[in-house]
Amino acid sequence: MSGKPVGADHQPQRHIVRLEEVGLRFGKTRALDAITLDLPSGCMVGLLGPDGVGKSSLLSLIAGARVIQEGRVEVLGGDMADAAHRARVCPKIAYMPQGLGKNLYPTLSVFENVDFFGRLFGHDRHERERRIGDLLKRTGLAAFAERPAGKLSGGMKQKLGLCCALIHDPDLLILDEPTTGVDPLSRRQFWQLIDNIRADSAGMSVIVSTAYMEEAARFDWLVAMDAGRVLTAATPRELLQQTGTTTLDDAFIALLPDEKRQDHAPVVIPPRAAAADEDVAIEADHLTMRFGDFTAVDDVSFRIGRGEIFGFLGSNGCGKTTTMKMLTGLLPASSGEARLFGHDVDPNDMAVRRRVGYMSQAFSLYTELTVQQNLELHARLFGLPPAETPARIEDMAQRFELAGVMDALPEALPLGIRQRLSLAVAMIHLPEMLILDEPTSGVDPVARDAFWRILADLSRRDNVTIFVSTHFMNEAERCDRISLMHAGRVLVSDTPAAIVAQRAASTLEQAFIAYLEEATHATDPVPTPAPTARDGDDVAAERKAGRRRLFDARRLLAYSQREALELRRDPIRAALATIGSVVLMLVMAYGLNLDVDNLSFAVLDRDNTTISRDYALQIAGSRYFVERPPIADYTDLDRRMRNGELSLALEIPPGFGRDLEHGRNVQIGAWIDGAMPSRAETVRGYVQGIHADWLSKKATQLLGKRAATSEFQLEMRYRYNPAVASLVAMAPAVIPLLLLMIPSMLAALSVVREKELGSIINFYVTPVTRLEFLVGKQLPYVALALSNAVLLVLFAVLVFRVPFTGSFPTFMLAALLYVTATTGIGLLISSFTSSQIAAMFATTLLTMIPAVQYSGLIDPVSSLQGVGAVIGRVYPTTYFVTIARGTFSKALDLRELWTQLLPLAAAIPVLIGAGAALLKKQAD
Amino acid sequence: MQIVNIVQLGIKELRSLLRDPMMLVLIIYAFSVAIYTGSKSMPENLNMATIAIVDEDRSPASSRIITAFNPPYFSLPRLISQPEMDRRMDNGIDTFALDIPPNFQRDLLARKSPALQLNIDATRVSQAFTGAGYIQSILTSEVSEFLRRYRSSAALQVDLDLRARFNQELKQAWFGAINNLMSNITMLSIVLTGAALIREREHGTIEHLLVMPVTPSEIMLAKIWSMGLVVLAASTFALGVVIHGLLAVPIEGSWLLFLAGTALYLFATTSLGIFLATQAGTMPQFGLLLMLVLLPLQLLSGTMTPRESMPELIRDIMLAAPNTHFVMMAQSILFRGAGFDVVWRQFASLFVIGTILFAFSLRKFRGFLK
């Protein structure tokens, strides 16, 4: 333990983190219970404990990623509940959350990922390039700088995560289970890297939680936790002395409360009876899997006997998972054969599926279902008799110690317990064969031992075949046979003892590393310390300059640039947004015809004289109506109106012609289908007009000069759109609709996606402010939408031949304001939704209805009533519809339209401000 | 195919939905508040059309005309000067501007047939035609009333007795309520199934299902029945409580028939949702695809523009869309009180479209799972 000064602008202090009575609850579950603890600075502190004891919660509190509920958390000499202090110190803290590459952006390359973090911390280009080059070289990632992060192996992802964390020279590095799910070679390299970095940057404190006890031995100081409390805190040697044990594994078990320790017993696996080998359960025969040019699995063959425990070892990305997927039928093999119980693997064979239990590497159960519901669902799906189900579930809950969390949602549970749940689910139907892909990654030693006792029991007593992949050497040693895989090939396949003997190594781990190093020809360079020692004063001065700014354009642009990159990596999204707008415009502008014509009508003519037929002909002759076969009687009339065949039915009474000539009052009956009121209204207008026209014609014919000529003339001037063409009216109105819906959807999803997939954590723990985050994410979508606007105008003018008569700059200025507002609507929606489904539905609901119905697209806003009128007056689309129509059809420019631009401009700060206010900067 | 699996997987879908409180809020909002306010805001056909009048005559005849324009069809006319007229129309303040020329009354009495000028903002197509018709008939009756005091004239006595059926007062609100219900049914059913499927893939739970003894058709049918049920329940609530209850829209035909038709329609749209999800790789792509499909479906279903007024090509293409038939069916049953003998064609069409969509989606879905 040392008390070296931490950063030049700080008083020398002995403790980097001080916790006082810190508590945390998730609903009814108590995650942390009155923790009081001081962590020494300048050294490597390890956090040990079973799953679910609150290690991750504690780390996220220290990192400032989570809201402090109870107690006081002091980090780097200040209170983490204080937002100003958090803003001050977060550039000095680096946090790597649990889960492989959880805070990385999978479509971005290695370089771009690190570059993004560099920008977030405000480094200039030169500085970034120097640091990134240095870090990539040291981590051995330099050769993969252009590879997308999503395509890296687990170990490389963690190294990249480390680069991202170290880019800003933190004083405090927080690593949450950084090596879980990483193979031994990569793990060794990872810790060497940490050692090198610590050697260079004197005084950096590191807090790590880990499930690997052998790793814990190299830490300076250990904190053992259980059930939300601290059991003890000491150096590893003290810990061994305290407990009187020789290994940390044992020490940890010794520290546990009695009732938990009682559950623990060493794993004893009785030797297999040799005769069982005759019966082959799994057989892989020259299995090969190619993805394009890449051969993931290369000619792999093995046979596993019934009841055997067969271990699968290998670095991340070596093809273990792919092989397992081929055996389960999830992936069809490119060549070769896989057989289960002597049958070829057939993805459609339900009978075989019932005999196999499979657990995939990533947690793949339903996070929306409780533990109990997950177990029930799987029991039912595997066809367990309902009567037996509760007992089986209880049995599983007991075996995997899930009894206490049956009503919890998996998301609220730590990784280790989630893994146990996955196992319980895989075993609920008592399968004859278990295929387990890294089942114990992230599971603590006690639970792992318990799990292996179950496996031993299943194998030896129930003769269940177990095919398991693991990174833990002590687990590998328990297998009957193991295979070492590397780069798609099996290096060696034998009993653990034989493998150790072949390599003349002392442990399996050494043998394993020896095989791997031989296979890779040591291409992965052992990280070498690079000369990066810098003057401490320089560092301090630099930090002062780059910090404590409320608004930093560089951080904002960091998000913009990253979002733009992601957009570019997803060309389908950009293409859909662009081509989609054009297609939609085409369809709607042609299809949305407000000029009602082709209306169907029929006549019930009871007179049937020349004059009555003349009346019907007058209507049929207009361009609005199409005549249908005459109506026979009232029943016919009723039927044909009910099925919607007729929009208009006319009844001409008997004696119509005779009465008319005698000047007697006659009446024509007309029924209009009122189901569509606007159409009915139009029909009414047309019929009245035609009727009047016919009358005046007849009057001149019948009455001659006695007839009154029209008293006055009404000159109608249809302005702006002399032909009253729907297209001319609709095309400019459709543009606002399209510039609303697509940009708002994209903006909303871009934020909620980060929430759902976990990278939002970077926003929580880096100095980026809410405004920078939101506006930064918004800019690329504004640019995309603006280019769409140009495209749509061009399309309207060139393809639809809609004249553009007004000022184009005014239109574009308005479009800029408008799309900023519409993406702002998306951001606002994203701030209160947490799932992408909800965000999508909310965006559709909150944009389509107001835009189509309340924004003057069809009915002018002035004619709306009630809530619709209010929404119409504040909704940005209203104003942009007026501007679009004004600039397209009315030859207007900024002088006439500025009053319409003001509300648009005003909407922007309101929307973004509300979005920023509602967005949370910490997890609850 | 096992019914019990379909049931269990469907229950899982329902439970998942329950875990997303924001989604529940949105569904309830969509089927209550959104329909209610949407219907209440609907303008009656020619409602408060803005009209301005330039009175250059200032005679009893012209003032008679001015006072004839009243709410609810027209807002009270604003008297403006000639130069103001252009500016106001440019800014979209007035839809109609009527210019009464000097000496209008004198010329009228002298039988000189004076000309009135009516300016119409033709970018507002929906009001332009009907409004112009109304204005013409108002002017005609006012002028002839005015002249009747001075002289009489012979005319033919033919009355046109116009009556609207099914919605006698032509209340837009009725139509709007049903319309919003239909569009929310479409929107929700596609989003629920499609987005839920993408979510399963993004979270890796789909892969997990595939190692279990369940078939793709079971997974798909489970999604269809569960999400269809949610939408059907929401529609029943909206129709019974909001539309029939609060908005007092009379329902002419059989509820049961309508709900049966809706169920058939949901079969088609949920299949469509799954199909869209299989085509989209990520949620943002699905969101865009949704817009691309939803907007034309909604706008061209025959509720905005009557089908007969659409270009023939679009009319024919839209026959393949399920909601064209749904709209026809809903209008027939709910407004015109049509029975199964009338709407069986729509039922048959929906069934055929639904089956094709389902079969097609199932094929894509199997590929999607690979």
pLDDT of residue A207: 93
> Considering B92, B113, B148, which residue would you say is the last residue of a domain?
B148
Contact assessment for residue B177 and residue B39, using Cβ atoms and an 8 Å cutoff? yes
B271 and B296: one domain? yes
Tens digits of per-residue pLDDT, A2-27?
434 334 344 446 788 999 999 888 77
Give domain status of residue B322, yes or no: yes
> Considering A520, A541, A575, which residue would you say is the last residue of a domain?
A520
**Structural domain range at position B76:** 51-148
A402 and A470: one domain? yes
User: What's the whole-number mean pLDDT along residues A802-807?
Assistant: 87
B298 and B319: one domain? yes
- Chain B 253-282, residues with CB within 8 Å of chain A CB atoms: 281-282
Give domain status of residue B164, yes or no: no
Give domain status of residue B159, yes or no: no
- Find the closest chain A residue to B217 by CA distance: A348
B115 and B178: one domain? no
Mutate to test the interface with B, among A624, A837, A875, A888 (most CBs of B within 10 A): A837
Beta strands in A315-400 (DSSP E): 335-340, 343-344, 356-359
| Partner B contacted by A372 (CB < 8 A) | no
B71 and B179: one domain? no
Judged by DSSP in three states, A485 sits in strand
Tens digits of per-residue pLDDT, A258-281?
776 666 677 777 777 655 556 788
Instruction: Kindly tell me if the per-residue pLDDT of B218 is higher than 80.
Output: yes
Give domain status of residue A896, yes or no: yes
Percent of chain A whose predicted confidence (pLDDT) is above 70: 91
B175 and B214: one domain? yes
User: What's the whole-number mean pLDDT along residues A185-214?
Assistant: 82
Distance from CA of B156 to the nearest CA of A (A): 6
Instruction: Kindly tell me if the per-residue pLDDT of B92 is higher than 90.
Output: no
Kindly list the distances between the CA atom of residue A178 and the CA atoms of A28, A175, A449, in Å, as whole numbers in the listed order. 29, 6, 22
- 8 Å CB contact of A364 and B208: yes
Give domain status of residue B350, yes or no: yes
| Partner A contacted by B37 (CB < 8 A) | yes
CA dist., res. A310 & res. A304, Å (int): 7
| Partner A contacted by B101 (CB < 8 A) | no
Give domain status of residue A653, yes or no: yes
pLDDT of residue A473: 83
Tens digits of per-residue pLDDT, A826-852?
999 998 888 888 898 899 888 888 888
- Find the closest chain A residue to B148 by CA distance: A711
B326 and B202: one domain? yes
B108 and B250: one domain? no
pLDDT of residue A303: 87
B358 and B262: one domain? yes
User: What's the whole-number mean pLDDT along residues A72-87?
Assistant: 88
A251 and A325: one domain? no
Q: How many CA atoms lie within 13 A of A808 on its CB side?
A: 8
Minimum-distance CB partner of A672 among B18, B23, B165: B165
> Considering B89, B116, B148, which residue would you say is the last residue of a domain?
B148
How many domains, chain B? 2
Residue A37: strand pairing partners: A19
| Partner B contacted by A680 (CB < 8 A) | yes
Q: Which of B135, B107, B103 is nearest to B119 (CA)?
A: B135
pLDDT of residue A185: 78
Instruction: Kindly tell me if the per-residue pLDDT of A333 is higher than 80.
Output: yes
A360 and A413: one domain? yes
Minimum-distance CB partner of A381 among B126, B170, B214: B214
pLDDT-derived band at A705 (thresholds 50, 70, 90) equals low
- Find the closest chain B residue to A588 by CA distance: B296
Instruction: Kindly tell me if the per-residue pLDDT of B300 is higher than 90.
Output: no
Instruction: Kindly tell me if the per-residue pLDDT of A623 is higher than 90.
Output: no
Give domain status of residue A884, yes or no: yes
B38 and B57: one domain? no
A831 and A880: one domain? yes
Give domain status of residue A489, yes or no: yes
pLDDT of residue A332: 81
A670 and A737: one domain? no
B328 and B258: one domain? yes
Instruction: Kindly tell me if the per-residue pLDDT of A534 is higher than 80.
Output: no
Give domain status of residue B18, yes or no: yes
Minimum-distance CB partner of B164 among A380, A674, A865: A674
Give domain status of residue B163, yes or no: no
The angle formed by the CA atoms of residues B218, B222 and B228, to the nearest 5 degrees, is 145
Tens digits of per-residue pLDDT, A452-489?
888 888 888 888 899 998 888 888 888 999 998 887 88
Judged by DSSP in three states, A32 sits in strand
Instruction: Kindly tell me if the per-residue pLDDT of B156 is higher than 60.
Output: no
Tens digits of per-residue pLDDT, B123-154?
776 677 778 878 887 888 788 788 777 655 55
Tens digits of per-residue pLDDT, A27-79?
777 888 888 988 888 889 999 877 777 888 899 999 888 888 889 999 888 88
Chain A positions in Cβ-Cβ contact with residue B154 (cut-off 8 Å): 703, 706-708
Minimum-distance CB partner of A592 among B158, B214, B305: B305
Instruction: Kindly tell me if the per-residue pLDDT of A912 is higher than 90.
Output: yes
A584 and A612: one domain? no
pLDDT-derived band at A906 (thresholds 50, 70, 90) equals very high
Mutate to test the interface with B, among A434, A712, A805 (most CBs of B within 10 A): A712
How many domains, chain A? 4
Chain B positions in Cβ-Cβ contact with residue A707 (cut-off 8 Å): 154-155
Distance from CA of B213 to the nearest CA of A (A): 5
| Partner A contacted by B83 (CB < 8 A) | no
The residue with tokens 């030859």 is: A891
Give domain status of residue A108, yes or no: no
The angle formed by the CA atoms of residues B90, B96 and B98, to the nearest 5 degrees, is 110
A317 and A418: one domain? yes
Give domain status of residue A70, yes or no: yes
Give domain status of residue B153, yes or no: no
Instruction: Kindly tell me if the per-residue pLDDT of A535 is higher than 70.
Output: no
A671 and A561: one domain? no
Give domain status of residue A764, yes or no: yes
pLDDT of residue A52: 73
| Partner A contacted by B322 (CB < 8 A) | no
Instruction: Kindly tell me if the per-residue pLDDT of B29 is higher than 60.
Output: yes
Q: What is the mean pLDDT of chain A?
A: 82
Question: Of the ranges A726-740, A800-814, A836-850, B343-357, which one carries the lowest mean pLDDT score?
Answer: A726-740
Instruction: Kindly tell me if the per-residue pLDDT of A593 is higher than 80.
Output: no
Tens digits of per-residue pLDDT, A734-749?
899 899 989 999 999 9
Mutual orientation of helices B322-330 and B340-369 as an angle, nearest 10°? 150
Chain B positions in Cβ-Cβ contact with residue A356 (cut-off 8 Å): 211
Give domain status of residue B162, yes or no: no
pLDDT-derived band at A815 (thresholds 50, 70, 90) equals very high
pLDDT of residue A10: 43
| Partner B contacted by A673 (CB < 8 A) | yes
> Considering A520, A543, A564, which residue would you say is the last residue of a domain?
A520
A93 and A199: one domain? yes
Instruction: Kindly tell me if the per-residue pLDDT of A732 is higher than 50.
Output: yes
Which amino acid makes up residue A103? N
pLDDT of residue B172: 75
User: What's the whole-number mean pLDDT along residues A735-764?
Assistant: 89
Residue A538 CB-density burial (10 A; 0-12 exposed, 13-18 middle, 19+ buried): exposed
| Partner B contacted by A846 (CB < 8 A) | no
A758 and A840: one domain? yes
A800 and A885: one domain? yes
| Partner A contacted by B47 (CB < 8 A) | yes
Instruction: Kindly tell me if the per-residue pLDDT of A135 is higher than 70.
Output: yes
pLDDT-derived band at A530 (thresholds 50, 70, 90) equals very low
- 8 Å CB contact of B117 and A703: no
What radius of gyration, in Å, describes the C-alpha atoms of chain A?
Answer: 37
Give domain status of residue A129, yes or no: no
Minimum-distance CB partner of A868 among B38, B192, B298: B38
pLDDT of residue A533: 41
Instruction: Kindly tell me if the per-residue pLDDT of A545 is higher than 50.
Output: no
CA dist., res. A390 & res. A507, Å (int): 44
H, E, C per residue of chain B? CCHHHHHHHHHHHHHHHHCCHHHHHHHHHHHCHHHHHHHHHCCCCCCCECEEEEECCCCHHHHHHHHCCCCCCECCCEECCHHHHHHHHHCCCCCEEEEECCCHHHHHHCCCCCEEEEEEECCCHHHHHHHHHHHHHHHHHHHHHHHHCCCCCECCCEEEEEEEECCCCCCHHHHHHHHHHHHHHHHHHHHHHHHHHHHHHHCCHHHHHHCCCCCHHHHHHHHHHHHHHHHHHHHHHHHHHHHHHHCCCCCCCCHHHHHHHHHHHHHHHHHHHHHHHHHCCCHHHHHHHHHHHHHHHHHCCCCCCCHHHCCHHHHHHHCCCHHHHHHHHHHHHHHCCCCHHHHHHHHHHHHHHHHHHHHHHHHHHHHHHC
Instruction: Kindly tell me if the per-residue pLDDT of A538 is higher than 60.
Output: no
CATH number, domain containing residue A94: 3.40.50.300
Distance from CA of A624 to the nearest CA of B (A): 9
A321 and A403: one domain? yes
**Structural domain range at position A47:** 15-100+170-263
pLDDT of residue A720: 66
| Partner A contacted by B149 (CB < 8 A) | no
Distance from CA of A396 to the nearest CA of B (A): 18
Mutate to test the interface with B, among A102, A361, A696, A859 (most CBs of B within 10 A): A859
> Considering B115, B148, B181, which residue would you say is the last residue of a domain?
B148
pTM above 0.95, yes or no: no
Higher local confidence (pLDDT), A711 or A382:
A382
CATH number, domain containing residue B71: 3.40.1710.10
pLDDT-derived band at A550 (thresholds 50, 70, 90) equals low
Chain B positions in Cβ-Cβ contact with residue A585 (cut-off 8 Å): none
CATH number, domain containing residue A693: 3.40.1710.10
Chain B positions in Cβ-Cβ contact with residue A660 (cut-off 8 Å): 156, 158
Interface predicted TM-score (ipTM) of this complex, two decimals:
0.79
- 8 Å CB contact of A863 and B215: no
B312 and B347: one domain? yes
B58 and B36: one domain? no
Contact assessment for residue A837 and residue B277, using Cβ atoms and an 8 Å cutoff? no
Percent of chain A whose predicted confidence (pLDDT) is above 90: 12
pLDDT of residue A12: 47
Q: Which of A633, A631, A855, A911 is nearest to A737 (CA)?
A: A855
